Chains A and B, each alone.
Chain A
Amino acid sequence: MDDNDPKIAGDEKQSELVWGLDVTPEASPVDPGVIAVGPEMAVAGDVHPIDEGEFVRGSSLWRDAWRRLLKNKLAVFGLVVVVVISFAAITGPAIIKAVSGITPDYIPTDDIRLVKSFPPFTGPEGKFSWAHPMGTDNAGRDQFARVLQGGQISLFVGIISTLVSLLIGVSYGAIAGYVGGRVDNLMMRIVDVLYSLPYVILVIVLLSMFRSQTARGQLVLLFVALGSVSWLTMARIVRGQVLSLKNQEFVLAARATGVSTPRIIFRHLVPNTLGPVIVYATLTIPQVMLTEAFLSFLGFGVQAPLASWGSLAADGAQNIAIFPWQLIFPGVTMALTLFSLNFLGDGLRDALDPQMRTD
């Protein structure tokens, strides 16, 4: 995305949007005594309060956005699916363990058969069973538990990388935009350079350079690698926002009250960019998850016995002709999640920025 991305152009209207929402009665009934200006006012010496009568409480930007979001069926669908899948991923493995004693990495040792991968809902004797609703993988591990655990890691990767991108991207963009001039130029050229590097290759190089022995170490590397490239677009978006905000009078007013520059950037300007930032963050999560899946698929991501949707799909893809369920379940779950996150992100954009809608 570049600086004249339509999202940015539209989001400049954000501040107007705030004014436009459920405005308080502008022409309030005013105490007639106040209008009469003259010597008697000065003599009265008392400040006449404005009599607003019954004050209609305006609703905040967030409440309004929430209402608009709820009207968007696809976004609500996305929100529900995301919540359900996240909840299942977080609690699922523990529940399965409590119910049937199976952990995601449990390999049955008493099973001496050659083929250990069963279709869904099939027990050891080939009869219907609730034990493995998504079947088992090559080693006989419960696929359901593995998909849920993989979900944990996939979501975790997505969220952590997005947090990194929020932290670095927002501060970087805000500083560049506010300081401006040569500093801005230099900072954004650095972003341009990083942009022009093919980031998948960058990540692969990072991962293979610092190849870690433990699965957990590999995971941390993955976070660092994904986080270090995912903040670029965020920085551009925030910079664009800050550029349009910094010349507004409230910034001048803040400076005139003696507020320091860092405080103006982070307490006054950054909150004003929240709308687009939230939208973009929601769209970054699926993007990062997809990248993670891609890397895992190539073998650079999460290593067994830990699983992510990408690594599960990679395993399943090898056996697609014989054991299709090994690919289908993690694949479908991931696709559903990505769809839902994208729907949710689009819905949030419409909700936070209604002027953008073309329909």
Chain B
Amino acid sequence: MASVKRRVAVIGAGITLFRRRMRETGRELSFYAAKMALETAGITIRDVDAVVCGSAPDAFDGVHMKGEYLLDGMGGHNKPYVRVYVGGGTGVFTPIAAWWHVASGHFDVVLAIAEEKMSSCHPHPQKAFTTIFDPIYTRPLGPNLVWIFALEMQRYMSVHGVKKEQIALISVKNKRNALDHPCAQLPAKITVQDVLNSEVMVWPVQRLDISPPSDGAAAVVLAAEHIAKRLTDDPVWIEGVGWCLDSTYWTNRDLYYPKYVEYAARMAYKMAGIKNPPKEIDVAEPYDPFDYKEAHHAEGLMLARKGEYLKGIKDEDDIFARYGRDGDLPICPSGGLLGVGNPIAAAGLMKVCEIFWQLRGEAGKRQVKNDPRTGVAQAWGDLMQVGTVIVMRA
């Protein structure tokens, strides 16, 4: 394979509040995020050569071909505009697609925006999720999205002997981190006992193990090297991209380990020249729609050995010492989906924004203390199938 053609940097990022329901339409939310990203990059929409949109199921917003509907607010009018989609992995995949727009040499400045408006779906966005299941093998059984997480969590716990008390610490950490995120939907100071006492949804998943449905949008501006250097002293380079999709027959796979995340990570690490991830990565934002997913994905990202993410972690002090902002390897300093919210596609891009701000030292109270140079953001989606990974360096 040829070497990558052009270096690409992130030069601006923007994000709206994440809330269960917001008055703004999908177009308006996109506009807010895009405007903020453009302003922080110091450019206007006229300077943008192309737009890449990411948004997850059309069923939420209630518009078929919603990419076309949203483009007004995304700055796509009279521009090359395309929507990409890999379920929940979309948030990290959107900047990857924008990356190849620039790296290929076709465009110099590209806006990547992800938006989700789950509140439009009534009576509850969960109902729209039933349509992700195979209509013949699965839907007649009346599934709820949480079923697949529960089955996966069960498998992870049973294969590795990890306990709920340990996994709950992740929810404690992230919701507490979220107290310092200005857009957070469910920041909270909770304890492991709170998680274990919360309502059982689909055993072993309980209410405080899960992130909420949300409305929100996030955006980043990508620029080719010569433009990035002109516009900012502080470009954050995209050094590695990777993505991978596993078979649709998820009942034919062992769910305890996300092989597809590992393959995506290998692709991104190879490009970035990373050989020893736990040593070379300073801060990471793995996708955490459920608390156990942070562990599951962090192992897929090879930041810990299989089953060992929570090894030796018994209480709050342990988890903050290892994965807190002052810890050995800060994980989800933003507060993750558990704390900030989960507007499906925008959530992944929120993580990319977080790494961007962390590497620039602009994360304020959330800033990790180890002077991070290299960060990883990862998202996941589909029927436990897709991993999307991006490696960024200051």
Q: Do A and B come from one complex?
A: no
Q: Which residues of B contact A (CB under 8 A)?
A: none
